[in-house]
Structure 1
Amino acid sequence: MPVHEESFAAGTPCWADVMVDDLQGARDFYGGLFGWTFEDLPPEAGGYVMALKDGHAVAGAMARSSTDPSQVNAWTVYLASDDVDETAEQARSAGGVFFLEPMDVLQVGRIAVGADPAGAAYGLWQAREHTGADLVDEPGTLAWAESMSRDYPTSKAFYAGVFGYELQEIGDAAFSYSVATLDGERPVAGIGAIPAQAPADVRSHWMAYFAVADCAASAEQVRTLGGTVLQQPSDTRYGRVAVVAGPQGETFAVLQRAAASRD
């Protein structure tokens, strides 16, 4: 079991959490889909819930505020930072904005949440007691994250400038996509262009991918649990993928890794 105990390198997707109207409904759905159990944090955590896989923290969940219309049911991907305040300032200088300014989260870390110049929301996380996902590369854990953009050149320039991503274009004439590395070797994230044929209401966003043992079976389980399959399971160079939504509309993807990608 590959347990990740140390802090993630700056720029690496290190955590994801979901905000929904019905927190208990989310617990039921993700518990059934991924086998997660849930730990309620102390009251000073504001109702935040930790999702656990085999006793290890793998994701978070919280209830959406009924008095804040700007909040939506959605997953948020967090990028690791050695200094959230400095990274936020760099992001602002590059055209980003912030909805949640840098702030301490008890003694566990420092956070900020904002959007890149193309409008994709994301978070920053500076680890203290909580370094991010404790368990990686296992079914039911965060396996990949990508920024899908309505302004592909702007998104590439933003993440390369702010986070030091080295980008390798792997797309083709029909689909623009770059793999980001921090060292020129190990992929950490992706940046893609939202296809022109996508519905107009599909905005720039970060997509969280969770590993599963069987993509088709997981997609069917999403339906059984009340969710929706938005893109049917299909093969990619990295494995078999389906894009789905929970019963409350939050979108994410499930990924059955190709055998070669596990080596």
Structure 2
Amino acid sequence: MPVHEGPFAPGTPCWADVMVDDLDRARDFYGGLFEWTFEALPPQAGGYVMARKDGHVVAGALAKNPDDPGQVSAWTVYLATDDVDDAVRRARAAGGVFFLEPTNVLRVGRIAVGADPAGAAYGLWQAKELSGADLVDEPGALCWAESMSRDYDASTRFYSDVVGYRLQEIGEGGVRYSVASLDGLRAVAGIGAIPAQAPAAVPSHWMAHFAVADCDASAERVTTLGGSVVQPPVDTRYGRMALVAGPEGETFSVMQLPEPSTTD
């Protein structure tokens, strides 16, 4: 079981949380889909809850602020940083904006939430008591994250300059997509261009991918629990995956990772 210990390297997607209108409904949906249990933080956290899988912290959830009509039901991916205040300054200098200025979340971490120049929302996470998800690449846990952009060149430039991503273009057949690494070796995230055939209403966004044991069964379970399948399961070089949405339309991906190769 890939339990993640210690801090994540700066730039690594280390956390994801979902904002919704109906938090109880979200707990039922994601608990039924991923077998998550939920733990409420102290009242000072504003109703934020932590999701756990087999006792390990894997994600978060919170209800929208009813006084803020600009909030939408969506998943937010957080990138690890050693200094969130400095990362915010660098992001602003590169054309980014922020909706939530650097702030402490109890003693758990220090965060900020903003958008890159292409308009994709993301978060920054400076670890304190919690470095991020402590279970990864297992069913019910985050296994990949990618920025899908309406301005691919602006996005690749921004994350290279601000986060330090080293990008390798792997797109083919008119698809523009790069895998991002921090050391030129292990990929930690992706940056892609939103396909021309995608509906015009689809904005730039970060997509969270969660591992599942069976992609087809999970996609079917999504609909049973009140969500929807946006793109049905399909095989890719990285595993079998489906784009799905929760009860309030918040999109995410379920991915059945390929079996590890074995040698005699």
Instruction: Give how far 1:109 is off.
Output: 1.1
Instruction: Give how far 1:66 is off.
Output: 1.2
* d(CA) in 2 for partners of 1:261, 1:211: 17
CA RMSD of aligned residues (A): 1.2
- Equivalent residue number for residue 4 of structure 1: 4
Instruction: Give how far 1:107 is off.
Output: 1.3
Identity of matched residues, %: 74
- The C-alpha deviation readout for 1:16-70, integer Å capped at 9, x for no partner, is 0000000000000000000000001111111000000001100000001111011
* d(CA) in 1 for partners of 2:160, 2:88: 14
- Equivalent residue number for residue 160 of structure 1: 160
- Equivalent residue number for residue 28 of structure 1: 28
Q: Which runs of 4+ in 1 moved over 3 A?
A: 260-263
Q: 1:66 to 1:262 in 2, by over 3 A?
A: farther
* d(CA) in 1 for partners of 2:173, 2:158: 23
- Equivalent residue number for residue 126 of structure 2: 126
Helix, strand or coil at the partner of 1:155? helix
Helix, strand or coil at the partner of 2:148? strand
Structure-to-structure mapping, 1:1-263, within 5 angstroms: 1-260=1-260
* d(CA) in 2 for partners of 1:20, 1:220: 22
Helix, strand or coil at the partner of 2:28? helix
Instruction: Give how far 1:108 is off.
Output: 1.4
Q: 1:247 to 1:138 in 2, by over 3 A?
A: same
Instruction: Give how far 1:83 is off.
Output: 0.3
Which amino acid in structure 2 is aligned with residue 203 of structure 1?
P
- The C-alpha deviation readout for 1:178-230, integer Å capped at 9, x for no partner, is 00000111000000000111100000000000000110000000011010000
Which amino acid in structure 2 is aligned with residue 13 of structure 1?
P
Which amino acid in structure 1 is aligned with residue 53 of structure 2?
K
Gaps in structure 1 of 5+ consecutive residues:
none
Q: 1:171 to 1:261 in 2, by over 3 A?
A: farther
- The C-alpha deviation readout for 1:117-152, integer Å capped at 9, x for no partner, is 000000000001011001111100000000000000
TM-score, normalised on structure 1? Answer: 0.98
Instruction: Give how far 1:259 is off.
Output: 2.3
* d(CA) in 1 for partners of 2:236, 2:254: 12
Report the number of matched residues.
263
Q: 1:87 to 1:21 in 2, by over 3 A?
A: same
Q: 1:171 to 1:13 in 2, by over 3 A?
A: same
* d(CA) in 2 for partners of 1:111, 1:97: 14
Helix, strand or coil at the partner of 1:217? helix
* d(CA) in 2 for partners of 1:262, 1:137: 18
Which amino acid in structure 2 is aligned with residue 79 of structure 1?
L
Judge conservation of contact 1:147–1:207 (CA < 8 Å) in 2.
yes
TM-score, normalised on structure 2? Answer: 0.98
Helix, strand or coil at the partner of 2:158? helix
* d(CA) in 1 for partners of 2:42, 2:188: 32
Judge conservation of contact 1:238–1:261 (CA < 8 Å) in 2.
no
Helix, strand or coil at the partner of 2:226? coil
Which amino acid in structure 2 is aligned with residue 209 of structure 1?
H
Gaps in structure 2 of 5+ consecutive residues:
none
Judge conservation of contact 1:139–1:211 (CA < 8 Å) in 2.
yes
Helix, strand or coil at the partner of 1:185? coil
